């Protein structure tokens, strides 16, 4: 068992878990708060990856993160526009945007299926110089995720953030309060897509490459991370929920790392990932059923004791 959990594996799982946690936080806004199934996540992640990689190639690794977020904001705006102004269902709007983003992403990469960043200065080469040691990547990503998490928690506590949260709970009540729910949905999806694109840009700099198929399945992975975190943390403040999402993302990467260490064939990794997602999504229901049968058994034992 000790050979499975080496320092290197734990470190890599934490680094990737923190990077992917930004996508889980994006789904926390769109899925948990706004009750919108945003299926543009896969394409938006690749969008951030491609834009971030190209700008990094130009010699601006920090600017690449902001440019990727701006591209994500544009993607989120189009997704929200299709929903609120064109009357297209959220699932269909996400599929349409995700399909269109494939061409935009490959165009951003110069109509090449991949971009290499080897030898280029990235956020992590800057962190290596500034921080040093063996954990500079994890520290750099942890600081970024911490800042994003605190800012997100603060924003959701502001008047605008509360309006977005209210829109997901009861759009009719929001409309009666002279708040435009369409605007709230648009702002929420723009922020969500910005976080997704930021995660893609970070991953491009982390692995020093970008591939056109990098975002495939990202929405299911992020959803699993979100549900794992919510199952562990439960109800509480927004800051607590944000922490749970990040924790869930890291745990998901640990499960994948364990599968790799157990010599699961690479072609079976998608199946393992699907099983983890299925278990994570069904866990709240199974827990509820287990508690129900446990209480039922206790009630029957008490009834039998009385007889």
Higher pLDDT, 92 or 173: 92
pLDDT at 69: 96
User: Do the beta carbons of residue 196 and residue 26 sit within 8 Å?
Assistant: yes
pLDDT of residue 28: 92
Tell me which of 192-196, 258-262, 303-307 is least confident. Answer: 303-307
What are the structural domain ranges in the chain? 7-263, 269-307
Structure tokens at 31: 């899925």
CA atoms within 13 A on the CB side of 244: 21
Quick one: tokens of 33? 């708060």
C-beta separation of 132 from 124 below 8 A: no
Average pLDDT over residues 208-236: 84
Mean pLDDT of 8-33: 91
Angle between helix axes 90-108 and 61-84 (nearest 10 degrees) is 150
Domain 7-263 - what CATH class? mainly alpha
pLDDT of residue 187: 95
What is the per-residue pLDDT for 299? 79
pLDDT score, position 220: 83
Q: Is the pLDDT of residue 267 over 90?
A: no
Q: Which of 75-84, 124-133, 159-168, 271-280 has the lowest mean pLDDT?
A: 271-280
What pLDDT is attached to residue 304? 65
Mean pLDDT of 19-26: 94
Under a CB-based contact definition with an 8 Å cutoff, are residues 15 and 21 in contact? no
4 confidence band (pLDDT: 50, 70, 90):
low
Rg (CA), the chain: 21
Q: Is residue 255 pLDDT above 70, yes or no?
A: yes
Q: Are 40 and 193 in contact (CB under 8 A)?
A: yes
**pLDDT over 90 at 71, yes or no:** yes
Taking the CB of residue 116, how many other CB atoms lie within 10 A of it? 12
Q: Are 127 and 136 in contact (CB under 8 A)?
A: yes
Region 109-129: mean pLDDT is: 90
CA distance 80 to 68: 18
Share above pLDDT 90 across residues of the chain, in percent, rounded to a whole number: 51
Residue (of 78, 60, 53, 61) closest to 193 by Cα position: 78
* H helices present in the chain, as ranges: 7-27, 41-57, 61-84, 90-108, 123-130, 136-155, 159-169, 171-176, 181-207, 218-233, 238-261, 269-306
The pLDDT-based confidence of 279 (bands split at 50, 70, 90) is confident
The percent of residues above 70 in pLDDT, for the chain, comes to 97
Confidence of residue 290 (pLDDT cuts 50, 70, 90): confident
> Can you tell me the mean pLDDT for 89-109?
93
pLDDT, residue 172, reads 78
The predicted model gives 215-222 an average pLDDT of 85
pLDDT at 291: 84
Return mean pLDDT, the chain.
88
Whether pLDDT at 307 is above 60: no
């Amino acid at each position: 068992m000790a050979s499975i959990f080496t320092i290197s594996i734990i470190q890599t799982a934490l680094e990737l878990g923190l990077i992917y946690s930004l996508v889980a936080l994006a789904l926390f806004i769109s899925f948990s708060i706004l009750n919108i199934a945003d299926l543009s996540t896969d394409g938006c992640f690749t969008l951030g990856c491609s834009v971030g990689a190209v700008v990094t190639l130009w010699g601006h690794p920090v600017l690449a993160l902001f440019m990727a977020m701006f591209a994500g904001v544009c993607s989120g705006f189009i997704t929200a526009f299709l929903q609120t102004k064109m009357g297209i269902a959220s699932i269909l709007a996400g599929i349409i945007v995700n399909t269109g983003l494939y061409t935009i992403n490959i165009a951003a990469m110069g109509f090449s299926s991949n971009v290499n960043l080897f030898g280029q200065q990235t956020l992590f080469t800057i962190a290596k110089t500034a921080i040093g040691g063996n954990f500079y990547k994890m520290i750099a990503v942890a600081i970024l995720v911490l800042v994003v998490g605190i800012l997100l928690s603060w924003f959701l506590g502001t008047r605008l953030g509360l309006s977005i949260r209210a829109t997901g709970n009861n759009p009719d009540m929001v409309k009666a309060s002279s708040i435009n729910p369409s605007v709230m949905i648009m702002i929420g999806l723009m922020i969500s897509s910005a976080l997704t694109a930021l995660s893609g840009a970070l991953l491009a700099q982390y692995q020093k490459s970008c591939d056109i198929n990098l975002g495939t399945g990202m929405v299911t992975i992020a959803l699993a991370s979100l549900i794992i975190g919510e199952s562990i943390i439960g109800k509480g403040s927004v800051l607590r929920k944000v922490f749970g999402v990040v924790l869930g993302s890291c745990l998901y990467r640990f499960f994948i790392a364990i599968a790799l260490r157990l010599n699961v064939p690479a072609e079976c990794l998608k199946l393992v990932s699907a099983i983890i997602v299925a278990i994570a999504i069904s866990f709240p229901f199974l827990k509820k059923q287990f508690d129900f049968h446990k209480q039922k058994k206790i009630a029957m034992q008490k009834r039998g004791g009385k007889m």
